[in-house]
Amino acid sequence: MYTLVIGTQNWSSWSLRPYVALRAAGVPFETVVIRLREKQHPTTRDQILPWSPAGKVPVLKIAEDGKTITVWDSLAICETIAERHPEAGLLPADTSARAIMRSYACEMHSGFPDVRDQLGMEFARKLPLPELRDDTRAQVARIITSWEEALATYGGDFLFGKLSVADCMYAPVVSRFVTYGVAVPPAVQGYMDRVMALASMQDWMHASREEITAGLGNYKD
Ligand SMILES: N[C@@H](CCC(=O)N[C@@H](CS)C(=O)NCC(=O)O)C(=O)O
């Protein structure tokens, strides 16, 4: 039995990644949403701590055989899901492709700070593209080039053919590029369209819109 603890869906880019992975695995799971950045909820961290000592979302609870395991950090959760559900194919079968896929996932996880800073996730909004700093521009270019290379090398609908952990990790970046109308080449646009069309992404969009309507995704730092 899985429980995925996530943040406000319009904003929580880290939470989106394991959500896409769990949906791709096709396993049932419950979702607990903890509101982030809400002026009226100053105790976000206090709400997360009972779920994870790291005090951050996402968190995955795995309850089985009378025990509960806590997995925290988006990449650790995606890898755990991929490992526990090999039939979902979230890790490429070929070991070379798998190694490259992990490089993509880790490059995303540890990098692109200026993209995160200047193009914050606003999943259900369309916003004007801000004047990008040189570093942001370079990181956007690196992301686009790396996507082009994977799409050309591995074929198929996603970066490594079938949907993989790398696509889960990059799903929030796809949404950021859509939100801010970042110009991309046609092959990359096709990839982004396919990611946005995933049922998991559509459902996340629906929830994000509901948050905004309810005034929950509207507070800016
Ligand atoms: N490296 C972590 C980062 C998680 C993270 O920063 N989560 C943010 C929300 S997107 C959070 O929990 N913020 C709550 C807080 O800072 O109080 C991961 O990949 O899971």
Q: Whose CA is nearest to atom 18 of ligand 1?
A: 73
Residue 22 backbone dihedrals phi, psi, to 5 degrees: -65, -40
Whole-angstrom Cα distance, residue 148 to residue 185? 9
- CATH code of the domain containing 146: 1.20.1050.10
| Predicted local confidence at residue 36, as pLDDT | 85
Parent domain of 36:
2-87
| Predicted local confidence at residue 74, as pLDDT | 98
User: Residues 6 or more apart from 153 whose CB is under 8 A from it?
Assistant: none
Q: Does residue 176 belong to any structural domain of this protein?
A: yes
Note whether 127 and 197 are same-domain residues. yes
**Spans of the chain, pLDDT less than 50:** 221
Q: Best mutation site among 6, 51, 52, 57 for ligand 1, i.e. most ligand atoms within 8 A of its Cβ?
A: 57
Note whether 69 and 104 are same-domain residues. no
**Assigned token pair, 32:** 């607990």
Q: Hey, what amino acid is at 31?
A: T
pLDDT digits (tens, 9 = 90+) for 101-123: 999 999 999 999 999 999 999 99
Q: Is 188 in the pocket of ligand 1 (CB under 6 A)?
A: no
Q: Is the bond into 92 cis (omega within 30 degrees of 0)?
A: no
Whole-angstrom Cα distance, residue 102 to residue 59? 21
| Predicted local confidence at residue 117, as pLDDT | 97
Q: Using the structure block, give the residue that is written with the tokens 């055989």.
A: 65
| Predicted local confidence at residue 221, as pLDDT | 43
Note whether 65 and 98 are same-domain residues. no
Whole-angstrom Cα distance, residue 178 to residue 6? 22
Note whether 131 and 171 are same-domain residues. yes
Q: What is the pTM of this model?
A: 0.96
- CATH code of the domain containing 29: 3.40.30.10
CA angle centred on 86, ends 68 and 7, rounded to 5°:
50
Total domains, the chain: 2
| Predicted local confidence at residue 111, as pLDDT | 98
